Structure 1
Amino acid sequence: MTVHFPFQNSYSGLPDSFFARVAPTPVAAPRLIKLNRPLAVQLGLDPDVLETPEGAEILAGKTVPAGADPIAMAYAGHQFGQFVPQLGDGRAVLLGEVIDKDGIRRDIQLKGSGPTPFSRRGDGRAALGPVLREYIVSEAMFALGIPTTRSLAAVVTGEHVIRETALPGAVLTRVASSHIRVGTFQFFAVRRDTDAIRRLADHVIARHYPELLGAERPYHALLGGVVARQADLVARWLLVGFIHGVMNTDNSSISGETIDYGPCAFMDAYNPAQVFSSIDEMGRYAYANQPRIALWNLTRLAECLLPLFSDDQEKAVADAQDILGAFSETFSDAYQAGLRKKVGLFTERDGDDALIQDLLDTMAKNQADFTLTFRKLGDAAGDPAADDARAQFMEPAAFDEWARRWHERTALEPQSAAERQAAMHAVNPIFIPRNHRIEAVIQAAVNDNNYAPFEELVKVLAKPFDDQPDYAAYADPPLPDQRVLQTFCGT
């Protein structure tokens, strides 16, 4: 059987300055760990063929499939606020693009496939742990309904990579609407290549914002579109307790998808200042800082687009500021609407925002588990006698006072208790990829070559809103000795 990818490669048809042509570096003995069969079918690929040894060789980069035009994309970026004029895909190769069953163009990229001209003295490889982490978290985000890159496959290479120690090497096959970032625009802006910026903007509009084709001011509209998608995306992150960890401009997707799962994490106990990333020493990308950073990143995009707005610099800046000004309201509307759903409010009344903020403040003071508090609140909506929500609080009486006000507020709406509970359970997951579970999966795979825990965790997280009694333990927060205090990039 032959593995067939129906590639249609538009990005590699752009000028050579946009990328470097480079093939993946062959590996010794690739072996498939996991194939995302439903995603393969969605992409128009044959999962049975991908699961053959020939398929594993392609997914590991040992064999380049027919029709591929492998490239490493060029981009720049602000990393923790410091600008680096050339970054690029240092350990990833874009094999090509396919049109999925919904007519959407998708990138298929190998991550950890060897060095490229952008590697900056790195080996271009990935260790098994970060590959498993990205597979788990990206697919969990998809199941939660959050725009994200996807994971098609994870493959071990039969080789080791050297980090602090020798670790099994692996390759992740990542799928995205595209891999174009704010940093892609910055790459050309720092070189004052306005023609390339225009070419890139036109490509992005055609690929991601086709409704803007023919707009009177298409580049203004493009910035507005990216602002709206990023505002909505970050609101969704906050509503599930997600912390990206490295919101650099080179990790900010123009399509509005979550991209690059390095030291990412989901909160256990609610803490607006929570940081997990080992490299975020100043808390720049803390949980509650993410909206502010998203706007900062979008401002860098706006700076790149100024030459396309107007030859009059002052007018271009004023136009950009007007567009960026919409971020705060768009984010706030999405976030507040999401919070109302999480506490089971079907209508909007004066005092709702304060009621919800009081809950969050009480949760923070009492180290209440973010995910379980909202999930168990749904139980209380269906049965006022249910007290699992108050059990999340160090001082349950503090929750009792808030719950009294909440019950008074929900009584003003006509929905039944069962309707409210169903609506709350539909937006409040019971299962998230908790850090201690991910670490246990990684240790089992790396130390014991045991992938059963990985398979089971992926299975549970595919249905985050379902109770799944057989896997109830996966909803539990970590015990004190299981807490993960830091997460790592894994590069």
Structure 2
Amino acid sequence: MASVSIPLSRRFADAVPEMAIPWAADDAPSPRLLVLNDLLAVDLGLDPDWLRSPDGVRFLVGRHVPEGATPVAQAYAGHQFGNYSPRLGDGRALLLGELVHADGLPRDLHLKGSGRTPFSRGGDGFAAVGPMLREYVVSEAMHALGIPTTRSLAVVATGREIRRETVLPGAVLARVAGSHLRVGSFQYARATDDVDLLRRLADHAIARHHPAAADAENPYLALFDAVVAAQSSLVARWMLVGFVHGVMNTDNVTISGETIDYGPCAFMEAYDPATVYSSIDHGGRYAYGNQPGITGWNLARLAESLLPLFADDEDRAIALAVDALGAFPGLYENAVTAGTHAKLGLPQGIDAGTLVEDLRTILRDNHVDHTSFHRRLATGAARDLVLDLAAIDGWLARWRALSPDTDAMRLVNPAYVPRNHLVEQALAAAVDGDNTPLTRLLDAVTDPFTESGDRAELAEPAPAGSGAYRTFCGT
């Protein structure tokens, strides 16, 4: 196949070279394409047929670098479970560069699992097939649900064995994002005490994601306002579909408002604000119900990092930051209220607060599946999911009195999400060489609102007696 020209730009590396270390991916002894997102490839101006060729597969693991491109490991800091780490960075990842999407906006092309970098600390820099396929499935499902997210272009098995608790087959994920700018990126720049670096990083973020901020009286405060708005909308959408991120460290909070890092994530089944799936979240810091509050905490860390740009006087800068951060609770509540009204088919603007709170109590006390209930509510089949019939009958009567639009409900309440047991089954089969369950699951979760009789079991919760589900970070 003829050589292909891939115009990878260096926007991030050119803007803040102090935070971009040129680096090369480790060799992949025997790369083999496991899954390729053809539609996303075309949107990025890439030829799917070429990506399936030997050179294309080597490109997807970082070993066939286009002329003029310079892969880099990105620097960032971060609070991990509340503890500050001044130097994290891409410990097993590389930014190959940026491509222009069909919408005219740039996208990062980023590798995960490509080997050790100067930020690896004690890690080996590699990733296993299972966790990389998990990110592919869940991120593409999130995209289909209309939730801002990094996307997955491909997963390539490397032919390398990696050691975790056991020996596992290695893989590289090629993922795509508006950018990989994080709260942790600004924490890193702030910690250098180089205000010029901090300003260049902020200018890059404004140009990349929030260009309207450039025309504001205080552009950097406007940047912060924009990130607060983006994150309040994002976490509201998580809550509406029952998504539990699992590791909301500041290095996993994007400036763009995209969901990033699908390590110990999962979709909640039985509704319970205390739901935790991550094996390392012993105190429930990142439980489902804590996600809005943690988002506010993370945004406060961004505000601290941006203080020198808000005003020359520190007291004035702090006052501006506190005032701007104070908008978060209201923005979040407005977003989650509007989304909840849509899920229940109710007109926007009516006061349904008590109705909603009563429903949450019924769902929690009766261990009702979050996704199934909202999907079946439109068809009249939700009552069968609740043990306390008196409670649900009373609630349903109040809800019907508001004349809900059940047709509209089917457009916002998915029939299919990446249910945890189905993801595990698909990953286990794929690791053993059988991609059939993975393909079938992907077909369902990337078309989540279209029910099909031959996918009925993909809409069902985990079988009774499955036990507590636990996820792991995949590192």
Task: Please list, as runs of the form range in 1=range in 2, the aligned pairs for 1:46-195 lying within 5 A after superposition.
Answer: 46-195=47-196
- In the aligned structure 2, how far is the partner of 1:67 from the partner of 1:464? 40
Equivalent residue number for residue 398 of structure 1: 391
Once the two structures are TM-superposed, the CA of residue 105 in structure 1 deviates from its matched residue by: 0.4
Once the two structures are TM-superposed, the CA of residue 90 in structure 1 deviates from its matched residue by: 0.2
Once the two structures are TM-superposed, the CA of residue 237 in structure 1 deviates from its matched residue by: 0.2
Asked whether the 8 Å contact 1:3–1:50 carries over to 2, the reply is no
In structure 2, give the amino acid aligned to 1:263: P
SS in 2 for 1:213: helix
- In the aligned structure 2, how far is the partner of 1:17 from the partner of 1:132? 32
Once the two structures are TM-superposed, the CA of residue 483 in structure 1 deviates from its matched residue by: 4.7
Could you give the per-residue CA deviations for residues 84-105 of structure 1, whole angstroms, max 9, x where no partner exists?
Answer: 0000000000000011111110
In structure 2, give the amino acid aligned to 1:465: F
Equivalent residue number for residue 431 of structure 1: 416
Task: Please list, as runs of the form range in 1=range in 2, the aligned pairs for 1:235-250 lying within 5 A after superposition.
Answer: 235-250=236-251
Could you give the per-residue CA deviations for residues 240-291 of structure 1, whole angstroms, max 9, x where no partner exists?
Answer: 0000000000000011000000100000100011000011100000001001
Equivalent residue number for residue 445 of structure 2: 461
Once the two structures are TM-superposed, the CA of residue 344 in structure 1 deviates from its matched residue by: 0.7
Once the two structures are TM-superposed, the CA of residue 45 in structure 1 deviates from its matched residue by: 0.8
Equivalent residue number for residue 480 of structure 1: 464
The count of corresponding residues between Structure 1 and Structure 2 is 474
Once the two structures are TM-superposed, the CA of residue 396 in structure 1 deviates from its matched residue by: 2.6
- In the aligned structure 2, how far is the partner of 1:157 from the partner of 1:396? 53
In structure 2, give the amino acid aligned to 1:442: L
- In the aligned structure 1, how far is the partner of 2:109 from the partner of 2:68? 12
- In the aligned structure 1, how far is the partner of 2:241 from the partner of 2:129? 26
In structure 1, give the amino acid aligned to 2:394: E
Asked whether the 8 Å contact 1:3–1:55 carries over to 2, the reply is no
- In the aligned structure 2, how far is the partner of 1:457 from the partner of 1:481? 22
Could you give the per-residue CA deviations for residues 161-212 of structure 1, whole angstroms, max 9, x where no partner exists?
Answer: 1000100000000100000100000012122221111110001001111122
In structure 1, give the amino acid aligned to 2:383: R
- In the aligned structure 1, how far is the partner of 2:360 from the partner of 2:34? 40
- In the aligned structure 1, how far is the partner of 2:463 from the partner of 2:33? 33
| Moved segments of 4+, more than 6 Å | none
Equivalent residue number for residue 364 of structure 2: 364
Task: Please list, as runs of the form range in 1=range in 2, the aligned pairs for 1:204-223 lying within 5 A after superposition.
Answer: 204-223=205-224
- In the aligned structure 2, how far is the partner of 1:483 from the partner of 1:344? 33
Equivalent residue number for residue 403 of structure 2: 410
- In the aligned structure 2, how far is the partner of 1:484 from the partner of 1:110? 32
- Segments of 5+ residues of structure 1 without an aligned counterpart are 381-387, 412-419
- In the aligned structure 2, how far is the partner of 1:2 from the partner of 1:15? 31
Give the TM-score normalised by structure 1.
0.95
Once the two structures are TM-superposed, the CA of residue 470 in structure 1 deviates from its matched residue by: 1.4
- In the aligned structure 2, how far is the partner of 1:15 from the partner of 1:402? 55
Equivalent residue number for residue 421 of structure 1: 406
- In the aligned structure 2, how far is the partner of 1:355 from the partner of 1:112? 46
- In the aligned structure 2, how far is the partner of 1:38 from the partner of 1:120? 36
Over the matched positions of the two proteins, sequence identity in percent amounts to: 54
Equivalent residue number for residue 385 of structure 1: none
Once the two structures are TM-superposed, the CA of residue 394 in structure 1 deviates from its matched residue by: 2.3
Asked whether the 8 Å contact 2:62–2:96 carries over to 1, the reply is no
SS in 2 for 1:482: coil
Once the two structures are TM-superposed, the CA of residue 63 in structure 1 deviates from its matched residue by: 2.1
Asked whether the 8 Å contact 2:60–2:174 carries over to 1, the reply is yes
In structure 1, give the amino acid aligned to 2:55: E
- Segments of 5+ residues of structure 2 without an aligned counterpart are none
Once the two structures are TM-superposed, the CA of residue 365 in structure 1 deviates from its matched residue by: 0.3
Equivalent residue number for residue 490 of structure 1: 474
Matched, 1:389 2:377: no
Pick which of 217-226 and 5-14 moved more. 5-14
SS in 2 for 1:379: coil
Asked whether the 8 Å contact 2:33–2:57 carries over to 1, the reply is yes
Asked whether the 8 Å contact 1:436–1:483 carries over to 2, the reply is no
- In the aligned structure 2, how far is the partner of 1:53 from the partner of 1:473? 37
